């Protein structure tokens, strides 16, 4: 019976529910979705770390500029 349903493009899953998507394709799709979610999470984490580093560089840059001004004032 399952073979006849498969010929018609219908499949029965493990819970005996009628599906129009082949279970192996559904599994692959779910795995791809999970991998995409992991990639997005890693990308967001990378953006957060990058933003923190950029803020740190900006702070250090401002301090360096202040020190340059102080050094120039001492030399006059």
Distances (CA, A) of 69 to 19, 44, 55, 60: 72, 38, 21, 14
Q: What local confidence, expressed as pLDDT, does residue 76 receive?
A: 67
Q: What local confidence, expressed as pLDDT, does residue 17 receive?
A: 85
Spatial CB neighbours of 62, under 8 Å, sequence gap ≥ 6: none
Paired with 18 in beta bridges are 12
Q: What is the pLDDT of residues 19-63, one digit of tens each?
A: 888 888 989 999 999 999 999 999 999 999 999 999 999 999 999
């Amino acid at each position: 019976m399952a073979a006849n349903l498969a010929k018609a493009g219908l499949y029965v899953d493990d819970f005996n529910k009628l599906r129009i998507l082949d279970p192996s394709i559904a599994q692959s799709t779910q795995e791809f979705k999970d991998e995409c979610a992991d990639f997005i999470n890693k990308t967001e984490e990378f953006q957060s770390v990058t933003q923190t580093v950029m803020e740190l560089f900006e702070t250090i840059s401002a301090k360096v500029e202040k020190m340059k001004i102080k050094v120039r004032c001492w030399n006059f």
